[in-house]
Structure 1
């Protein structure tokens, strides 16, 4: 079943990746738990979902502060990525979003705007056979201010050559929806796994 879309004649679609195109959040959570557990840190599942859309390095830094730890941010981030890559075989596409991709591919341009690394986004989309559908990938490191700041979505629109008001964003997090709204774009909210 297709996700409902807002009214409008959109000229481009911009997608978040994790939890939006890919039903990867459960795999990400398991990778987080294992990587953090190696350092004696914890990330409650409720907090993990509340922090959806945040940069990996920011999450690790916040956990260090909250839990009085000194985890090496780059090392823990790399380990979490390694563990996630091992779980890619379990990741599937989000059905309602995949149907929009299949129905509109070739008709309008698509881009991805993600807080995840380019390696993570590329691996996820490649595992699903979808990488070639996206003309633009905007990932962590491509922009300075993460969601809810609109910078990533504005960059995605600019790279596609489409005005922000003509873009439709597919998002699963509050931070991502706030970023889309701040960019002046329409959006379709992707429900979390337990609501599908």
Structure 2
């Protein structure tokens, strides 16, 4: 399934989501959410995971708490989940067609990341994939007041690299992120057509 991603010659800037786009990290996130969910009395299904993909962790856990009528602290769920995820980050691999694209355009087009994750985790992922020195511009959960599917994340990323939204190409794997890119008026590429992930397997 892996093949080269083509960038239109009129594109002047590239913006990447991280989890599920640059890194095939969604299977690990799902497994950790499942495991922590059981600890907190929640059946964290694949359908629930995909529905909430792209929403910051604390907001995600608040939604889960409310939906299941639990009384635990969402921040505690997040703390346990993030610790478990970071302990297993060595299992995360890069999405090869996207990694290749980043290296191809490293000195040609300005690039940024726009993620619903926090800056600490996002930086850890990029560093693990040896990309932190290639993509210095990053908009994370703590940098915006409105998260995906609101376009604020990608609009701020475009501003960081000095490119108008209509001239940016966004790379995403999640429905909320794709909606955000479209709402921002950017060219959007769904990277799931370029690789096969293993969420729920």
Whether the TM-score (by the shorter chain) exceeds 0.5 is yes
- Name the stretch that deviates more: 130-139 or 50-59: 50-59
Secondary structure of the 2:15 match is strand
Distance, in Å, in 2 between the alignment partners of 1:153 and 1:107 is: 20
5+ residue gaps, structure 2, are none
In the alignment, which residue of structure 1 is the partner of 2:4? 2
Match of 2:27 in 1: 26
Deviation at 1:140, TM superposition (A): 0.7
Q: For residue 41 of structure 1, report the CA deviation from its aligned partner.
A: 1.6
TM-score by length of 1: 0.94
Residue 60 of structure 1 is matched in structure 2 by 61
Paired residues, what number?
Answer: 194
Q: Which residue of 2 aligns with 1:193?
A: 197
- Report the Cα distance in structure 2 between the residues aligned to 1:194 and 1:72, rounded to whole angstroms: 30
**Structure 1 residue ranges, 4+ long, deviating more than 4 angstroms after superposition:** none
Residues in 2 aligned to 1:181 and 1:106: alpha-carbon distance in whole angstroms: 26
What TM-score, normalized by structure 2, do the two folds share? 0.91
Indicate whether 1:71 and 2:72 are aligned. Answer: yes
The separation in 1 between residues aligned to 2:43 and 2:118, in whole angstroms, is 22
Structure 1 SS opposite 2:143? coil
Contact 2:27 2:198 in 1 (8 A): no
Match of 1:108 in 2: 109
- Taking only aligned residues, the RMSD between alpha carbons, in angstroms, comes to 1.5
